[in-house]
Every structure is written in structure tokens, then in C-alpha cells.
Amino acid sequence: MAPEKLIVFHDGFRLSRWKDFFVKNGMKNVMLDVHVYLWVLDGFLHLHNLLPYQLLLRFYERQIRRAGRYTPVLVGEWCLCNRVADRYGKSSYEKDETWRKKVYRRVARMQLKTWDDCNAAGSFYWNYQLYRDRQKPMYTTSLDSWDLCRCWSHGWMPKNMR
């Protein structure tokens, strides 16, 4: 394979198991792709603050650093989606926008800092368009936080990304 080409392998949600697999097998020009979603905790825990997300990010920071000793690691997907941002409001349509913005901005900064601190090879925000009508809110399904354009337009992403 030409040296300027690279093969990216998804970690299969088992980042810690890869260790020196590629090195032992003489594979060069490879990279591991990890997907990190904070919302996975929402199904297991009733969250009222960001501490569990911080702990999950700390865990991933260590895992990415360890795997990165052998093979570069790319955070191939991440997003702002989390239940803490959506927990306030009278109904799913009447969210407390000040609270949401505060939480989403903090979650964005936490994740961006983690990707920098763990020396990830890079990161990609999940940005697939999930909803066609950009004029209507998607609060009932929390899809706004998956759409990078909506995150920017709501001011949920920090202005200075680095």
C-alpha cells in the first residue's frame, strides 16, 4: 500500500482490546476509529448533573491514550446529545433554553478538551442531517444536538474550538 494511504478500522466498541494488534501483525498506515456518545449513560442512569459524563470522558481519555501508544486513534463520531440538557421545561416543546445552552456548551468544551488531552488523531462531530425542516424545532426527539449546523446556530458550540 502506498505510504500516503491509510486504513481506518472501527474499534468495534472494544478499544482496549486492540492494544498492539496492528504492530504485532506488521500493519502500517492504520488508524483506530472510536465513537464516543455521552447519551449511552442516559439509558442506565437517571442523570441530574454532568459528573457521570465527565467520568465517562475520563475513561475514554485513558483508553485513547493507551491505544494511541501503538496506533493513532480517531474519535470518528461524537455529539452533544444528553439528557441533562433536556431535563428542564414544562413539556418537550417548552425547554429552558438558557439551561440547554449552558449544558450543551459545557458538554462541548468537555469533549473537545478530552480529544485534545488524549492526543487523539482528530475528531469528527456527528453531522448527518436528521431532520429536513430546519424551521421547526426537533425538541421532542432531541435531534437538534445531533445536527452540527443547529448546534452552531443555537450557540451551543464554543466560538473558539481550540
Confidence of residue 151 (pLDDT cuts 50, 70, 90): confident
Q: What is the DSSP letter of 157?
A: S
The pLDDT value recorded for residue 141 is 54
**pLDDT-above-90 percentage for the chain:** 56
- Give tens-digit pLDDT for 42-86: 888 887 889 999 999 999 999 999 999 999 999 999 999 998 887
The pLDDT value recorded for residue 94 is 55
pTM, to two decimals: 0.85
- Give tens-digit pLDDT for 116-142: 999 999 999 987 666 566 666 555 556
Query: Is the pLDDT higher at 89 or at 111?
Result: 111
- CB-count burial class (<10 Å; 0-12, 13-18, 19+) for 67: buried
Paired with 32 in beta bridges are 9, 73
Residues 6+ apart with CB under 8 A from 147: 127, 129, 130, 131, 138
Task: Select from 41, 156, 45, 60 the least CA-distant residue to 109.
Answer: 156
Spell out where the chain has E strands.
7-10, 30-35, 73-78, 89-91, 94-95, 122-125
C-alpha–C-alpha distance, residues 20 and 31, integer Å: 12
